[in-house]
Chains A and B, each alone.
Chain A
């Protein structure tokens, strides 16, 4: 006989959709930043045309992201407390300094690119990368530092967040770059320079997506054999209340369908690539929502 719960007090979600959206936008920013450094930082000159739109997107997304934090906190006018009373053990404390320093690096790097200062752009791009990594990984640590929550307390989360950041950032840049080409009236034929660039981005995206799927799979597989709440979290995602969003939208629509499109030889065209990119951005958005939500759905006591 299973025990029956007669009375308990329900609890509101602590983080909810605002934090999920915040993670989503910092991910887009960090991912775009990596792409913009491919040419200046790592000498992949074939991606030079991407650098300018990518760094603009990285900066814009990072201006949007903290707005969700301000909407989330109870006392937004006390945000200056974060800089005055620092707790080195708290990921949010790390974040308050990362979120102020990273946009500065973005702006310096952007200025170097737009003034065509090759060497300075390389230097600032490479300096910016650890900050882009940290600014996104720290959001993973925020969740990982909550010991009682299903699927949050995992060392995989910060890494998974990094990979999904690059995935969503790449997909976003494909869309932005295609929109730019369309707006300028550029030729987007697959054989041409711009179309070829888009398709090679699609190839990168495909492999990143495989890495993302692998890490998600490993995380869930280990969680499903662990004791305690992690197993319940896996059940909620795979067969429970969140299954339509996790299995349906995040995994099938947001990862498997785009993976098929990206690697199918007959679909190596710009149109399907854009469809895949839209689905991937949607899938990563749901990944953030699902993960934040699954940790807060089950009562802990």
Chain B
């Protein structure tokens, strides 16, 4: 169960991601995510002009922020943070006001189309608690996603965070995301007003 000696942390190497959406599919299957909404997905961006081009992929899911906006704005404390850092939503308490969804700077929350309550990525806490890896981590064919204990200095994530250049999404909001990216490109992280085609 939740343990305050652990801080679940994810590192995603975008250089390894090939944009296959296996994580999105595995997540849908594992968590019974309904049609039209996603707990994780891969955004793809192309830049440059032939022959100097690059196609970049960035897997996106809940950042399990250390200082989450969603928790501070929820009027009924339905969304809360576990001691191991995972941000959860109490499905019996949520009233579906969608304030957390509006306030999240990463747009990783969705309103369940049938249950009419908010849901999002929970790092597959049911699997972590059972000693398994989250579905997306297990499904990734290139090993782009790594999850581990950020408080343990010898864990794989801690070693990567200590020795490699990493970046989080939108650090300016002070939410302290606990999903770190290697090889994050400015073109992938921002939309600059481009709408989804």
Binding site for B on A (CB under 8 A): 1-12, 14-15, 69, 72-76, 78-79, 81-82, 84-87, 89-93, 95-96, 142, 145-149, 228-229, 232, 235-236, 295-296, 298-301
Contacts and interface: CB of A to CB of B under 8 A. Distances in A.
B96 A300 contact: no
A1 B47 contact: yes
A96 B75 CA distance: 9
A221 to B, nearest CB: 19
Interface residues on B, range: 35 or more
A85 B74 CA distance: 10
7 contacts: A15-B102, A74-B97, A81-B93, A93-B75, A147-B173, A148-B103, A235-B193
B105 A147 contact: yes
Contacts of B23: none
B144 interface: no
Nearest to A228: B172
Contact of B191 (A15, A73, A78, A298): A298
Contacts, number: 161
Contact of B73 (A86, A92, A235, A296): A92
Contacts of A84: 76
Contacts of B60: 301
B41 interface: yes
A90 B72 contact: yes
A284 B51 CA distance: 52
Contact of A85 (B78, B97, B189): B78
Nearest to A235: B193
Contact of B101 (A14, A72, A91): A14
